[in-house]
Structure 1
């Protein structure tokens, strides 16, 4: 399954403004912590509405979806390493395992449990 969560930030960094690159860097470095739209906008030096519009225009998805995508990317890595889903959820910033499961299934197409049990995890990704 391909989609928004296959997005690689390095693909578009050349076309991102400095303000958006700063916000993306903050998300990438602190994805497991709650980060508000206001904090991201302040990091970018923009108003909240201008930031949200510019982020979507330059990155292609909303800031919230981008944060979820980064969390899912890290969750996949941890699951491949054998970390139990309940620990992965807390490690990457989801509220609980159910929250991880909903976002993971929406992004990857399978549950975290199926992802870990699949012999070829790349096929499930």
Structure 2
């Protein structure tokens, strides 16, 4: 029997962080999926193996993992007891899309001070009453992340022009809730549907339908944490019905929409800025 992950997820009342997600994962294997936000991950116990940008990487204790938006990745435990992780999903006010290319090749950051700042921010986010502390910690952390990425600029070649796969992704991003057929995309881009499927899969490491589903699940997470009911979210995020929504949400996250929505912790107390 597959174990249900232990998790807490919530949307903090703070510009810059879309979602906070704490979980212990044992048996669940994350399929290829994407986010429209930056995924900032620290592992407190165990080890994670994942693919990003057609390369395999590992995440373990004492290092920081930064996964850029729109780039497919998966994840699985490589330790018998699973892994425990804390994740923040950062929006473009903290890290702009112009930094995505700099993060793809090397998502691992070995920086003890950065990891400590991330830990302190997670602790502060679970306490209510000192928003200035949280904002201060976020500012320090984001600044250090940007510094890491910009140090790589000199090692990068010129950014290449977006090809057919990137144009298709832009079209999917604009239509992922209402949906767009391959025939419609083919007509819009003047490219045969089969060729669209091939180039998209080769460029991003996942199928067109997988990408659209992952965007819908990503939206559903936000709507659930905002208080919308799973039934309403299924429609708002573009799923055919609630059963369709439940099946794909659980496949990606390993838990049901209802359990995810009810996982937000009760926040209390206040922390002191160190």
What residue number does 1:9 align with? 70
Deviation at 1:15, TM superposition (A): 6.6
Q: Matches of residues 1-125 of structure 1 in structure 2 within 5 Å?
A: 2-6=30-34, 8-9=69-70, 11=100, 17-119=162-264
CA distance in 1, matches of 2:219, 2:251: 15
CA distance in 1, matches of 2:239, 2:181: 14
Q: Which has the larger share of helix?
A: 1
Determine if contact 1:20/1:44 at 8 Å carries over to the other structure: no
Deviation at 1:23, TM superposition (A): 1.4
Determine if contact 2:220/2:234 at 8 Å carries over to the other structure: yes
Deviation at 1:95, TM superposition (A): 1.1
Unaligned runs of 5+ in 1: 121-125
TM-score, normalised relative to structure 2: 0.40
Q: Which has the larger share of strand?
A: 2
Determine if contact 2:200/2:206 at 8 Å carries over to the other structure: yes
Determine if contact 2:34/2:215 at 8 Å carries over to the other structure: no
- Bigger CA radius of gyration: 2
Deviation at 1:16, TM superposition (A): 7.8
Unaligned runs of 5+ in 2: 1-28, 36-68, 72-99, 105-158, 266-274
Determine if contact 2:34/2:70 at 8 Å carries over to the other structure: no
- Equivalenced residues, count: 120
Quick check: 47-56 or 27-36, which moved more? Answer: 27-36
CA distance in 2, matches of 1:15, 1:81: 38
Give CA-to-partner distance per residue, 1:46-85, whole Å, 9 cap, x none: 1111111000000110000000011001000111111111
